[in-house]
Structure 1
Amino acid sequence: MNWVNEFLLNLKENLPNILVGLGILLFSLALARMVKKIVRNRINPKSKNPLIARFISQLVSVIIVLVGLTLFFKSVGLGFIATTIFTGAGIMTFVIGFAFKDIGENFLSGILMAFKSPFQIGDLVETQGIVGYVTELNLRETVIKSLDGKDVFIPNSKILNEPLFNYTIDGFLRYDFIIGVDYQENILEVTEMIEKAVSAVSGVLAGERKPIVYAHEFQTNTINIRVVYWVDTLSSKTKSSHFLIRSKAMDAVAKLLREKGIGMPANIMEIKNYDDQAIQVSNNQA
């Protein structure tokens, strides 16, 4: 029982230091949480990239907690523990870094993206065959909402190492569709009429990015006309609004051609009879 008495005696003698150490530790934890929130709220309005605020606030928070732990160990007479921890940090970093290589790579990629990201939240992007809107950025992964509503979690290292297309970084996106008209039509007149009809559609840009309409190719039954137009992705942020603009543009062209009596031939099937017997065609009406 001597060791019990010795322990209680040491505990009694060091109780004030232990209480002070616990107070320092609790204070550092509360301070870290408060400073983390303050730093994030201060940086977020000034930065377009939320990763910067998240990274800096987490870094400051970790530093405060480490300082609090060091003071706690020293106040209770266990300063050697803090020294041992920091001395072995290099070896542990190597071991942990090797064991969790992918996690470390994603984390470092997240830090790089915090200061220079190829996109912002809400941007329409495409990477690794996935098309969707960026909904969340963190230090490990990027979350993309695909056009069919799926949440896709992509590691940041993949974002940096693979080609990425940002369709909204400059605020403009181009669309096109093709419509076929009869060979007998005046193509120049038809393209001019189509251009005016598409330009009148709400959401289609004018000016330098006005619609372009031209004869695209000769097909078996039609001359295909290509219609190219631009939309403003800053005012039309959702993909559904882009689909609606496209639908309105195609409807406007179809109505125009019908009103002007311009032929839009369908595919023609030609049947040849290699037999001498005549083919009888009957039209049975009920």
Structure 2
Amino acid sequence: MKEQLAEAFNNLIDKLKGWFNTIIEYLPNFVLAILVLITAYFIAKYVNKATKKIVDKKVQDESVSGMISRITAVIVVLAGLFLALGIMNLNQALTSLLAGAGVAGLAIGLALQGTLSNTISGIILSFRKKIQIGNWVETNGFSGEVMDINMKDFTLKEADNNIVVIPNKKILENPLKNYSLTTKMRVFIECGVGYESDLEKVESLTKEVIAKTFDQVEKPEDVEFYYTEFGNSSINYLCRFWIDAESMLEKLRAKTKAIIEIKKAYDKEGINIPFPIRTLKFDNELAFNNPVEFEKISKN
């Protein structure tokens, strides 16, 4: 019994000596690895702040800039961790860590495919100079002012003050019309005048009214005027002109003002704007005095 205890004690001493020798052998590498991790941590903090300052100049959304800066910091820390593991000759652990990270990343990516798609789309939209907060845009069947671009969705405020939230993925996959990229918008007015009207007078009067109403239209010749068709009750025309505007609300206000002034001018000059009229004419007289005919009509 004593011999077994002595043998076990000797084995323990040998193990401890082996561990101690290993620690002494790898102590410089361990210290160097710790220094690498500490250095990577401080570099990550600096990179985080520097990246945030750079991104803030191009992206207005705080959440997007914060996420990008944090991702950059995490990459720096992971690089330091891998370097430290390599210094300590833990190549097998490093390989296992990379494999595990790859499998976990694939599983998370499949589980959060929609969320990650919207997140990446939000980052892309935040860097697009042609889409900024405050722009008036039209996309996915909605039109309004861009109120927010974050990591999940794209927020619009329509002209009726309703808020529309659209997933970022939908914005990238569908066409988007940005009215704020240009300082001019074209107003279209379609109307009709009676067949008895002097068409040349209608054209010149309409152009003069538009030129007097809007400062952006310097002269009547700048107004485009085209007769388009012989309608059922009127001769129809299309009038269009340019105004200084960056939103659909300004365009609608200008169109409303133009319609009011054109109507006033037409009323003053006696120009008729007809509305559809249907005339029913009966050429035959119904013979109600004939009992046979009256009976047929009653049955029908």
Same fold (TM over 0.5): yes
- Shift, 1:225, TM fit: 2.0
Identical amino acids, percent of aligned pairs: 25
Distance 2:174 2:261 in 1: 40
What is the DSSP-based 3-state SS (H/G/I as helix, E as strand, rest coil) of the residue aligned with 2:252? Answer: helix
For residue 152 of structure 1, what is the aligned residue in structure 2? 164
Structure 1 portions without partners, runs of 5+: 1-22, 75-79, 278-286
Distance 1:210 1:107 in 2: 47
2:251 to 232, 242, 245: 242
1:275 to 274, 277, 285: 285
- Shift, 1:33, TM fit: 7.7
Paired residues of 2:48 and 2:72 also in contact (CA < 8 A): no
- Shift, 1:199, TM fit: 2.0
For residue 211 of structure 2, what is the aligned residue in structure 1? 199
| Corresponding residue pairs, total | 246
Offset from partner CA, 1:9-38 (integer Å, 9 cap, x none): xxxxxxxxxxxxxx99x9899878865664
Name the Cα RMSD after superposition.
4.0
2:241 to 209, 221, 229: 229
Distance 2:215 2:156 in 1: 25
For residue 214 of structure 1, what is the aligned residue in structure 2? 226
Paired residues of 2:125 and 2:149 also in contact (CA < 8 A): no
Q: Structure 1 residues 28 and 275, CA, compared in 2 at 3 Å: closer, same or farther? A: farther
Q: TM-score scaled by structure 2?
A: 0.65
- Shift, 1:95, TM fit: 0.7
Paired residues of 1:37 and 1:57 also in contact (CA < 8 A): yes
Pairing 1:174–2:183 present: no
Distance 1:50 1:210 in 2: 40
Paired residues of 1:213 and 1:227 also in contact (CA < 8 A): yes
What is the DSSP-based 3-state SS (H/G/I as helix, E as strand, rest coil) of the residue aligned with 2:213? Answer: coil
Q: Structure 1 residues 114 and 241, CA, compared in 2 at 3 Å: closer, same or farther? A: closer
Paired residues of 1:172 and 1:232 also in contact (CA < 8 A): yes
Structure 2 portions without partners, runs of 5+: 1-37, 85-89, 288-300
| 1:275 maps to amino acid | E
- Higher Rg: 2
Structure with a larger share of its residues in helix: 2
For residue 298 of structure 2, what is the aligned residue in structure 1? none
